[in-house]
Amino acid sequence: MPKLLIIEDDAAFCQMLQKFLIRNDYDVDVSFTAQDAKIKIKETTYNLVLTDMRLPNYDGLQLLSDIKEVNPKTQVIVMTGYAEVGSAVEAMKKGAYDYISKPFTPEEILMQIKSALSQEVKEQTINPSKENSKVESTEVESPENKVVAGISDASKKLTEYIKLVAPTDMSVLITGESGTGKEVTARAIHDNSKRKDHSFVAVDCGAIPKEIATSEFFGHIKGSFTGAVEDKIGHFEAANGGTLFLDEIGNLSYENQIQLLRALQERKIKRVGSTKEIDVDVRIVTATNEDLTEAVEKGNFREDLFHRINEFSVEIPSLEERFEDLPLFADFFLRKANRSLGKKVEGFSEEVEEIFKQYHWPGNLRELQNVIKRAVLLTNGDYVEKEALPKEVHKSKVSSVKNDNFSKADYEKEQIVRALKQSNFNKSKAAKLLQITRKTLYNKINHYNLDL
């Protein structure tokens, strides 16, 4: 029976996960702190460790190193609660098998564990002495480590912009529709910069309650407020020397915007409850799917902060704007899903490929990735068939018209007109309904010569 250890400071969640895994024939121990986990790891040999990346008063990457130092063969899966894919990839570079984002389903975590344990057996069988083989393959296969080099003009322009701005220390504002891969682009900027050997810390500003945002960004000292039971470093300190990626920055409260601006101007921060100033050297990359220019005009976003974070802007094209790249992305996500789920699906049937070409993909790359992962999970043969796709994908309004380009354009024009009518022809509100930027909406209106 495989021996597992769960390291998680949320006791209720930890115990619930332990009970579930025990019911699925695993021998499971739990630790609520990194300190306790380190004791258990020295006393017991674990086949797999499932650990949260964010633990009180201890760095998740350091804990990973501690685990691997005691037993390099122990497989590690990291759990991420915020938008910390970048940190998870750092963990994979340091030897973690994979990461899984919260919230996850029981089926997903079982798949990950089975895959990791089967990899452990495979490595010992093929080359028992090569303890580092998993780390080497991870850097090649992990999709977060690179941007897919598309063949479309839009993708080539994006790649050119990344190469142009990455070596500098300029603050970059990434815009684009939801699901276009803004964090992947931010990561690519970091990986091609002089800061690549330091931390990349990704923060979802929309997921942080404004009451604790100061502590999240700048850290706090023990006893500074109710619940501050340990000293804690903030995102700025964690990213010192590297890159701090602030996703959905438009969601920050006005008060938090002031604090952020001060930190960027002075390059110094203070932990909550402390009078000591700490020097920080971070590059700021931000992202939003909102129109910050409009937010500045309305007084919802500080103009001085906008100019501070917008030294260089990059707009990520929608999947529709780089439709030539669809087969590349589909194959890319297929390989990722195979690795994550322990499957060996070889490709897509011709019918599925045609459905992919005809579908509108309003959720962009995120939707494509989710559709493919679900399809791979449901596929038992060598190829993904139509039955494995969600109904909204293969029943989309397209097949009745032979000309794919016409049907897709017809569908989009209808969506734009509907959104404009719903918003009483307020283009900003219509853009939000369509989940695109106002600039993109204007471009599409001009492209289709809509008489409004």
- Residue 385 pLDDT grade (very low, low, confident, very high; cuts 50, 70, 90): very high
- pLDDT score, position 303: 95
At 346, phi and psi to the nearest 5?
A: -85, -30
SS3 87: helix
Q: Report the C-alpha dihedral over residues 438, 443, 448, 452, rounded to 10 degrees.
A: 50
- pLDDT score, position 86: 58
Same domain for 193 and 261?
yes
Which is more confidently placed, 149 or 283? 283
Nearest Cα to 271, choosing from 216, 202, 229? 216
Same domain for 116 and 163?
no
Show the DSSP H helices in 81-105 as ranges.
Answer: 85-93
Per cent of the chain over pLDDT 70 is 87
DSSP β-bridge partners for residue 58 = 55
Same domain for 136 and 161?
no
pLDDT digits 0-9 by tens, 200-237: 999 988 888 888 889 899 998 888 877 777 888 899 99
Please indicate, yes or no, if residue 452 is contained in any of the structural domains: no
- Indicate the average pLDDT of the chain: 83
Is the predicted pLDDT of residue 400 greater than 80, yes or no?
A: no
Question: E strand or H helix at 370, and its extent?
Answer: helix 364-378
- Residue 428 pLDDT grade (very low, low, confident, very high; cuts 50, 70, 90): confident
pLDDT digits 0-9 by tens, 290-304: 889 999 999 999 999
At 99, phi and psi to the nearest 5?
A: -125, 160
Same domain for 60 and 109?
yes
Residue with tokens 């930890």: 14
Please indicate, yes or no, if residue 399 is contained in any of the structural domains: no
- Residue 146 pLDDT grade (very low, low, confident, very high; cuts 50, 70, 90): low
CA distance 298 to 446: 25
Same domain for 414 and 372?
no
Boundary residue ending a domain (116, 144, 172): 144
Same domain for 118 and 166?
no
- CATH code, domain with 423: 1.10.10
- Residue 147 pLDDT grade (very low, low, confident, very high; cuts 50, 70, 90): low
Is the predicted pLDDT of residue 104 greater than 80, yes or no?
A: no
Single-letter amino acid code for the residue at 60? G
Single-letter amino acid code for the residue at 176? G
Bridging pattern class, strands 277-279 and 268-270: antiparallel
- Among 315-319, 347-351, 427-431, the minimum mean pLDDT is found in 427-431
Show the DSSP H helices in 24-105 as ranges.
Answer: 34-43, 60-70, 85-93
Boundary residue ending a domain (316, 335, 351): 316
Same domain for 181 and 282?
yes
- CATH code, domain with 374: 1.10.8.60
CA Rg, the chain, in Å?
23
CA distance 259 to 204: 17
Single-letter amino acid code for the residue at 76? V
Please indicate, yes or no, if residue 230 is contained in any of the structural domains: yes
- pLDDT score, position 405: 42
- Residue 108 pLDDT grade (very low, low, confident, very high; cuts 50, 70, 90): confident
Please indicate, yes or no, if residue 275 is contained in any of the structural domains: yes
Same domain for 390 and 268?
no
From residue 27, alpha-carbon distances to 70, 73, 398 in Å are 20, 18, 51
- pLDDT score, position 237: 92
Please indicate, yes or no, if residue 382 is contained in any of the structural domains: yes
CA angle 130, 136, 139 (to 5 degrees): 165
Same domain for 237 and 210?
yes
Q: Cβ atoms within 10 A of the Cβ of 381, count?
A: 10
Is the predicted pLDDT of residue 412 greater than 70, yes or no?
A: yes
Look at the pTM and tell me if it is higher than 0.75.
no
Question: E strand or H helix at 78, and its extent?
Answer: strand 75-80
From residue 231, alpha-carbon distances to 31, 58, 227, 316 in Å are 19, 9, 11, 38
What is the domain extent for residue 325?
A: 320-394
Same domain for 58 and 175?
no
- How many residues belong to the chain? 452
Please indicate, yes or no, if residue 170 is contained in any of the structural domains: yes
From residue 142, alpha-carbon distances to 119, 138, 252, 340, 413 in Å are 15, 6, 31, 10, 37
Same domain for 312 and 166?
yes
Q: What is the mean pLDDT of residues 293-320?
A: 93
CA distance 67 to 309: 38
- pLDDT score, position 416: 86
Q: Which two tokens stand for residue 391?
A: 């109904």
SS3 30: strand
Please indicate, yes or no, if residue 128 is contained in any of the structural domains: yes
Boundary residue ending a domain (92, 118, 144): 144
pLDDT digits 0-9 by tens, 112-136: 898 888 765 544 444 443 333 333 2
Number of domains comprising the chain: 4
- CATH code, domain with 92: 3.40.50.2300
- Among 16-30, 128-142, 223-237, 340-354, the minimum mean pLDDT is found in 128-142
Please indicate, yes or no, if residue 80 is contained in any of the structural domains: yes
Same domain for 312 and 357?
no
- CATH code, domain with 164: 3.40.50.300
- Among 91-105, 208-222, 418-432, the minimum mean pLDDT is found in 91-105
